[in-house]
Structure 1
Amino acid sequence: MQEIFGDRLAEVFTPPWNRLSNATIKILHELNFKAVSMTGPFPRGYKNTEGLKNLRIQLDLHTRKAKDGISDFKTLLEEITVLLGKRERIGIMIHHQRMTSFAFEFLEELLHLLKNHSKAHFLDFKELAANPNEE
């Protein structure tokens, strides 16, 4: 991956289905990963002596629970409103395989609105992993 991505490579692992074992964490440390990105905390009993950061996800754009699209969309907008009101970093997860044309349009509009908001700042994984204030 280093050969392919060069200095654009971010040593951040997103575990499938947001599940991470202690054995996987050990291997990530051996491979010099700097962080993971998932919705939950590290596994129970894990002692983070390696300094691996968890860049937590607060908003999942695509894994919704309601039975209909209108309810899902309303809930999504409510979640975004609550998160923006907290004035904290918001990790947003997308699922490229689940994205429809509407999902891409929504994401584009959301990013446009945030980009033009005076209090919004975008950080990439490398910046977040290098930040000593992250988990």
Structure 2
Amino acid sequence: MVDVVEDNPGLSILQHGYSHLSYAPVTERKCELGSHRPIVTITDELTRGLQQLREMFGSRFHAVLVPPWNRLSLDVVDSLPASGFVGLSTLGPRSSGSVELVQVNVHVDLIDWKGGRKFAGEERALGQLIDHLRLRRLEKVDPLEATGVMTHHLVHDEPLWVFLERLLSFTHEAGVRWCSTDELFR
């Protein structure tokens, strides 16, 4: 994995939780970083993970938390700066949130998780993309937040890869500039 990152200068590493295990009761939605365990246990794990990733990937690692299932408790959010995190990324328009954390979220989920873990389809993906851009323009969400597209490369099917290739090609030709992790989480 380290070799792949070293060989691809456009890749950045962010922290996706610690164990990707849900500690929520089966009657609730999955959540690793919720209020189901002591905050000290969660912060210890996240800090350990942050240190490991920093050692493995050096400057390619950014101390940004991307919580599994896009869920975490407010106590965890509040603990992130003291644990060494500078950023947070979840799903949906960002809120005013913590002044100590840079929050840049994703707004387009390309996977239909309930419909077979496959590409959600061009109509849904483009609809989410256009909707966030429209809400930014109307200032109904933070107009300065970049519009983020969430990928899940381990479950991408062929239609999703084709869509991404077309989207990136189209946006490049239209003069859209995709921001780097360094730019987003300064």
Q: Name the TM-score, length of structure 1 as normaliser.
A: 0.72
Unmatched segments (≥5 aa) in structure 2: 1-52, 138-142
Asked if residue 126 in structure 1 is aligned to residue 182 in structure 2, the reply is: yes
Give the whole-Å Cα distance in 2 for the aligned partners of 1:66 and 1:110. 22
Equivalent residues, number: 124
Q: How does 1:1-135 map to 2 (within 5 A)?
A: 1-40=53-92, 41=94, 48=98, 51-63=100-112, 72-84=121-133, 89-118=146-175, 120-130=176-186
Give the whole-Å Cα distance in 2 for the aligned partners of 1:92 and 1:70. 13
Q: Name the TM-score, length of structure 2 as normaliser.
A: 0.55
Give the whole-Å Cα distance in 2 for the aligned partners of 1:64 and 1:3. 33
Unmatched segments (≥5 aa) in structure 1: 131-135
Residue identity matched to 2:82: E
Residue identity matched to 1:73: E
- The change in CA–CA distance for 1:28 and 1:63 in structure 2 (over 3 A counts) is farther
Residue identity matched to 2:75: A
Q: Cα deviations across residues 20-72 of structure 1 (Å, max 9, x unaligned)?
A: 11332244222321111111456xxx9625x11221211111146779x8984
SS of aligned partner of 2:185: helix
Q: RMSD across aligned C-alpha pairs, in angstroms? A: 3.1
- The change in CA–CA distance for 1:55 and 1:71 in structure 2 (over 3 A counts) is closer
Contact persistence 1:64–1:72 (CA under 8 A): no
Residue identity matched to 1:124: S
SS of aligned partner of 1:11: strand
Higher relative CO (Cα under 8 Å, sequence separation at least 6) belongs to 1
